[in-house]
Amino acid sequence: MLYPPDRPIIGAVRAMLAAAVVLATSVVATPAFAEGPVTAIGQASDPFAGIRPVALARVPDAVPRIPPLRFLLTFDDGPDSGPDGSTPLILRQLADNPVAPGIKAIFFVQTAHPRRGGGADGQAQMRDTCAAGHLLAVHSGLASGHVSHTKLSPSELAASLRSGETDIAAQCRHVAQLVRPPNWAYNEETESVYRQLGLGMLMSDANARDGKIYGWHISLRRRSHMVSELEQVGQAIGTHRLQPVNGVIPVVVSFHDTNDFTASHMTEYLQILVDAARENGLPLANPPFYTDTRAAERAALVRARGGVYARESWP
Ligand SMILES: [Zn+2]
């Protein structure tokens, strides 16, 4: 183990930076030891004077390397369609923004609720969302919408998930083999149904707390909230709970595309995520968000299979 498991990552990062400063100083000093007069450092009689830089040069080998993070954005509860809908507003910002253009996300949709995917507008929106290269997966396949899967019998749940997949397949060529339980409610029975259907349950590492049960005022604290969410992510990396997938650590972030505040501030949220990672000393991949649909899906499936998140409870 490279650093104690209970030590916050920020400590590890600070240690890295300190080591880098020492190293940089020693590298700069090396020519003086090799070529300049020894008296320049005032230790003419020190027989070990020339050894120090060599010993310090080994420091980088001992410095823990934190794999870079890449944010995997997810949106629940939609689609929210129409010209003033939240989903199209979010899609426009994911495609075109100054932080990372061309972001691809996962949308966990309510496929049958009349105001979501159950109406013609919602179906057109699901079509547009996957045509833009995003992934769609089932949140709820019931006409009654946002019902906890734990409140359904295993056979009702299985039927609703199959029906939800059929609804998505009617609009999109591909259905991501993932599920996000409404209200984050799951138990052994629901997990067993997901497994039987070959669906990976994807929870999240960081939550924007933009679900409708939270007041609008939460959004005023969204920057400090995200900094503390990513502090948890740093701790999870420090304790090796989050592992890299293809060289980057996918960090699952959950939003609600039915929230019009989220929709109108999406670009700002992207910047907040990048800033919050930096504030926690966490290295970011380039690009810092998934822009490749298949890579995003692979990362999501690996994370779902692992079942370990920076968060251990969800709102
Ligand atoms: Zn939901």
pLDDT confidence of 231, banded at 50, 70, 90?
Answer: very high
Q: Could you tell me the distance, in angstroms and rounded to a whole number, from the CA of residue 108 to the centre of ligand 1?
A: 8
- Per-residue confidence (pLDDT) for residue 219, from 0 to 100: 58
> Would you give the end-to-end CA distance of the chain in angstroms?
33
Residue 98 CA to residue 33 CA, distance in Å, equals: 47
Q: Could you tell me the distance, in angstroms and rounded to a whole number, from the CA of residue 222 to the centre of ligand 1?
A: 19
- Per-residue confidence (pLDDT) for residue 43, from 0 to 100: 41
* pLDDT over threshold 80, residue 213: no
- Per-residue confidence (pLDDT) for residue 139, from 0 to 100: 98
Q: Could you tell me the distance, in angstroms and rounded to a whole number, from the CA of residue 267 to the centre of ligand 1?
A: 22
* pLDDT over threshold 80, residue 131: yes
Q: Could you tell me the distance, in angstroms and rounded to a whole number, from the CA of residue 183 to the centre of ligand 1?
A: 6
Asked whether the whole model's pTM tops 0.75, one would answer yes
- What's the whole-number average pLDDT of the chain? 84
Residue 51 CA to residue 147 CA, distance in Å, equals: 68
Identify which has the larger pLDDT, 273 or 2: 273
Residues 86 and 78 sit within 8 Å (Cβ to Cβ) = yes
Q: What is the pLDDT of residues 167-178, one digit of tens each?
A: 999 999 999 999
Please state which CATH number belongs to domain 69-306: 3.20.20.370
The domains of the chain are located at 9-62, 69-306
Q: Could you tell me the distance, in angstroms and rounded to a whole number, from the CA of residue 134 to the centre of ligand 1?
A: 18
Q: Please tell me the least confidently modeled range out of 53-57, 60-64, 217-221.
A: 53-57
Q: Could you tell me the distance, in angstroms and rounded to a whole number, from the CA of residue 76 to the centre of ligand 1?
A: 5
Q: Could you tell me the distance, in angstroms and rounded to a whole number, from the CA of residue 289 to the centre of ligand 1?
A: 22
- Per-residue confidence (pLDDT) for residue 209, from 0 to 100: 81
SS (H, E, C) 181-209: CHHHCCCHHHHHHHHHCCCEECCCCEECC
Q: Could you tell me the distance, in angstroms and rounded to a whole number, from the CA of residue 125 to the centre of ligand 1?
A: 18
Q: Could you tell me the distance, in angstroms and rounded to a whole number, from the CA of residue 294 to the centre of ligand 1?
A: 24
Q: Compute the average pLDDT of residues 176-190.
A: 98
Q: Could you tell me the distance, in angstroms and rounded to a whole number, from the CA of residue 72 to the centre of ligand 1?
A: 17
Q: Could you tell me the distance, in angstroms and rounded to a whole number, from the CA of residue 315 to the centre of ligand 1?
A: 11
- Per-residue confidence (pLDDT) for residue 50, from 0 to 100: 46
Q: Could you tell me the distance, in angstroms and rounded to a whole number, from the CA of residue 171 to the centre of ligand 1?
A: 21
Q: Please tell me the least confidently modeled range out of 47-51, 196-200, 256-260.
A: 47-51
Residues 68 and 299 sit within 8 Å (Cβ to Cβ) = no
Share of the chain above pLDDT 70, in %: 77
pLDDT confidence of 212, banded at 50, 70, 90?
Answer: low
Q: Distances in Å between the alpha carbon of 45 and those of 16, 34, 38?
A: 32, 15, 9
* pLDDT over threshold 70, residue 93: yes
Q: Could you tell me the distance, in angstroms and rounded to a whole number, from the CA of residue 107 to the centre of ligand 1?
A: 11
Identify which has the larger pLDDT, 65 or 151: 151
Identify which has the larger pLDDT, 239 or 43: 239
* pLDDT over threshold 70, residue 141: yes
Q: What is the pLDDT of residues 143-170, one digit of tens each?
A: 999 999 999 999 999 999 999 999 999 9
Q: Could you tell me the distance, in angstroms and rounded to a whole number, from the CA of residue 77 to the centre of ligand 1?
A: 5
Q: Could you tell me the distance, in angstroms and rounded to a whole number, from the CA of residue 230 to the centre of ligand 1?
A: 22
Phi, psi of 263 (to 5 degrees): -60, -45
